[in-house]
Structure 1
Amino acid sequence: MESLDETEATLRGQAHIWKLMYAYADSMALKCAVELRVPDIIHSYGGGPVTLAQIASRIPSPSPGTAYLARIMRLLVRKNIFSANHCEPDGGHESHETLYSLTPSSRWLLQGPGSELSLAPLVLMENHPWLMSPWHCFGDCVKTGGIAFEMAHGRKIWDFASENPEFNRLFNDGMACVSGVVVRGIVEVYKDGFESIGSLVDVGGGVGKTLAEITKSFSHIQGINFDLPHVVATAPAHDGVTHVGGNMFETIPHADAVFMKVSFIAKYLMHIINL
């Protein structure tokens, strides 16, 4: 007969499996909030507090499902994405109505003007079915040693991006999001290095956001943003930056220095892509 401690440990083990089994619900709720631009809606009211009805009124739908929205908001409040408190009944609110506000976390999900460091593009990229489907191939990867993304989509990620403009945009926006967060810290601590060079090539620079930040702080630098042709084809113009398409395994443009960044997120993503 199990002791009380053994019984408790067994039940905790079961609860742990349930928690892991439904862990995806957190990221799906987060994605939903970003897609509906709930953080921006609350921000438009000064960051809160706002009612559920006020949020629903700004969602572009003739009949938003407020019951679903309430459940999603309740989950995200528990995860500290939003804060909530209950107001006392008065002339403007229903009895004990829940009021929602932004938190430091949800401010990272704003997508309007002045939100250059938003993580919203990364949330949308990582939780899109295109990048979620390779996770379902882990078992096959173990059996055959193949690559998860190729198993899910039948081609390498770079070929898939070149053939699919929407995926190309989604991926580039997500990577630009990572660059925007990382590069400002680099610029702050590596001033002497940047001041001593006249030209800089960013290998795998995506749509050029990293170089745009660098040349903004060091206007004397001539930046060369180097990436695959289908990537730079969609890159916007940046002051002091020239976009060049090519393959880094064949040749890279000449410059005083070469910049290659590998952030934790990028390494993690590349690991999943090539698993």
Structure 2
Amino acid sequence: MAGTIDLDEETLQGQADIWRFIYAFADSMALKSAVELRIADIIHLHGGAVTLSQIASCINNGGYRTPPDINCLFRIIRLLVRRKVFTVQHPSDGGEPLYDLTHSSKWILHDSELTLAPQIMAQTHPWLMAPWHCFSRCVKEGGVAFKKAHGSEIWDFASEKPEFNGLFNNAMACTAKIASSAIVMGYKEGLSRIESLVDVGGGTGGLISEIVKANPHIKGINFDLPHVVSTAPEYPGVCHIGGNMFHGIPNGDAVIIKWIFHDWGDEDCIKILRNCRNAIPKENGKVIIVECVLKEDGSGVFDDMGFVYDLIMIAHTSGGSERTELEWKKLLREGGFPRYKIINVPAFWSIIEAYPE
């Protein structure tokens, strides 16, 4: 007769937690499937709750002769309902269940002005997932996870592979829209007296274009690597300049730099900060840093994500990390910015306003 194990409640919960962590990837993959199948878009275009068969009838089947597998679709949506990405209603007359959007699924609409769909497609792509399998090697050997997985670091990989460059730029552009919305709403006073603003590492210009649109008195300069700005569209009031932030930065009244410092180690960040200081006036100049500020005991809605993103920095960068306020203070001082102020905005990021004097 097989033996039995008497588990107390805490031990049982511990086992349940480990099972959940093992299969946490299932949430990401189900979400990716929903984005690829455009499930949220189908519901949104319908204008209200829809049945599973209605969703299936609207899925682009790519020319396959067989119709979509409704059982497979149901099982994917069922998990996402449990995760509150979608909601389900069971009619009292016994009719088909009706599926609808939630506050979460509105963020995976393809054609929404503010969407995270490109981020989902990028972060779940095998190119960006492969480095995660190298973490234990990084602990044992040191080195860069992305390079271990692909033979080159991420920026070189992007410059050599246009498809990856497009995937990555689309992901960055969608976060730029979310960041720009938060900045335009929550940082009006900080932008009111700036005449020229340089977006360092601005990608294809999404952030600076939105700032200039809301603040037409600002002359916008989008600055990034030549292969990045070569694909940037034209925006009113914005000029694109290709270059390298480690060699120099165009002059402006202020510099804004979003989600760049977390890609680099302290030594590289200090070089960037010193180039930022050289690009702005000594009096009344400032650097506007849009980054996460880690709070180890934080209970805010985005605080957990800071620690997740810290591991993304191991996966995708060569020495990057998310930083606590104390780490930011030390970095800014060594980069030539002895004074700073942290401003909260309605987003994952905070604004760190840094001053050279």
TM over 0.5: yes
RMSD: 2.0
Please report how far the alpha carbon of residue 271 of structure 1 lies from its aligned counterpart in structure 2 after TM superposition: 4.1
Partner of 1:40: 41
Match of 2:88 in 1: 84
Q: TM-score, normalized by length of structure 2? A: 0.70
Please say which of residues 95-104 and 151-160 is displaced more in the overlay.
Answer: 95-104
1:101 counterpart SS class: strand
Equivalent-residue separation in structure 1 for 2:122 and 2:106 (angstroms): 18
Aligned sequence identity (%): 55
Partner of 2:207: 210
Match of 1:107 in 2: 106
Deviation at 1:167, TM superposition (A): 1.0
Q: Residue 69 of structure 1 aligns to a residue in which SS?
A: helix
Whether the 8 Å contact between 1:88 and 1:97 is mirrored in structure 2 is: no
Query: Which stretches in structure 1 are left out of the alignment for 5+ residues?
Result: 90-94
Q: What whole-Å deviation, never above 9, does each CA across 1:157-198 have from its counterpart, x for those lacking one?
A: 001101111111111111111121122222233323322122
Identify if the C-alpha distance between structure 1 residues 59 and 149 changes in structure 2 by more than 3 Å, giving closer, same or farther. same
| Aligned partner letter, 1:179 | A
SS of 1:260's partner is strand
Aligned letter for 2:101?
L
Write the distance in 1 (CA, Å) between the matches of 2:186 and 2:204. 23
Give the Cα separation in 2 of the matches to 1:96 and 1:76. Answer: 21
Indicate which of 230, 243, 246 corresponds to 2:243.
246
Find the aligned partners of 1:51 and 1:3 in 2 and give their Cα distance.
44
Residue 273 (1) aligns with residue 274 (2):
no
Using the alignment, how far apart are the partners of 1:100 and 1:136 within structure 2? 36
In the TM superposition, residue 26 of structure 1 has moved relative to its aligned partner by 0.4
Letter in 2 for 1:272: A
Greater shift, 72-81 or 237-246, is seen at 237-246
Q: Give the alignment of 1:74-223 within 5 angstroms.
A: 74-89=78-93, 95-112=94-111, 115-223=112-220
Please give the TM-score of this superposition, normalised by the length of structure 1: 0.90
Over 3 Å counting, the alpha-carbon distance change for 1:23 and 1:111 in structure 2 is same
Q: Which amino acid aligns with 2:315?
A: I
Q: What SS does structure 2 have at the residue aligned with 1:205? A: coil
Query: For residue 15 of structure 2, what is the amino acid of its counterpart?
Result: Q
1:14 lines up with 2:15 in the alignment: yes
Deviation at 1:3, TM superposition (A): 9.6
Q: How many positions carry a matched residue from both structures? A: 266
Structure possessing the higher relative contact order (Cα contacts under 8 Å, 6 or more residues apart)? 1
**Cα offset for 1:33?**
0.3
